[in-house]
Amino acid sequence: MKFEGSLDGKGLRVALVVGRFNAFVTNRLREGAVDCLTRHGVCEDDIDEILVPGAFEIPQAASAAVSSGRYGGVLCLGAVIRGATPHFDFVAGECVRGVSRLAAGSSVPVGLGVLTTDTVEQAVERAGSKSGNKGWDAALAVLEMASVLKHVRGD
């Protein structure tokens, strides 16, 4: 048997967990994600935004959203841009590890749209210019996984 997801978001309720740090980037990721979700049938009223201080706090808020039972998908959006100290490695690593752990242990799809870049220019490129919008891409993954998991569970 082959299970393949669709991109139909009709009836899906989604939580966007958005880090406010580097808002000039994360706002663009959020806009891309909302655009993707609504173009694929998710009603704007079914998209909740959970704003957190930064990337480090994303896994905790995403975990609360998953645990609430209110959402058919949770999308994590943030931006960690390398600086002159090792702080980048700790924040980026813990954010991705936390989201990864949450996704692996959840029956709710959890999307990772957290940029980890060396420069501001790279972040801007991935938030809607040269390299597309990674918020859009992460939203597509949540839509597809919501559908795949439904098929696998037999819902």
The pLDDT, as a whole number, for residue 78 is 98
The single-letter DSSP state of residue 81 is E
The predicted pLDDT at position 86 comes to 85
CA 128, CA 123: separation in Å to the nearest integer?
A: 9
pLDDT bucket at 34, cuts 50 / 70 / 90: very high
Structure tokens at 11: 């009836």
pLDDT of 52-89, one tens digit each?
A: 999 999 999 999 999 999 999 999 999 999 988 888 98
**Which of the residues 87, 90, 100, 129 is marked catalytic?**
87
| 73-81 and 47-52 beta bridge pairing | unpaired
Q: So what's the pLDDT on residue 40? A: 98
Give the closest residue to 110 by CA, choosing from 52, 61, 153.
61
Average pLDDT of the chain is: 95
Question: Would you say how long the chain is, in residues?
Answer: 155
Active-site residue, 151 included:
no
Q: What Cα–Cα distance (Å) separates residue 100 from each residue in 54, 110, 114, 125, 154?
A: 17, 8, 12, 24, 24
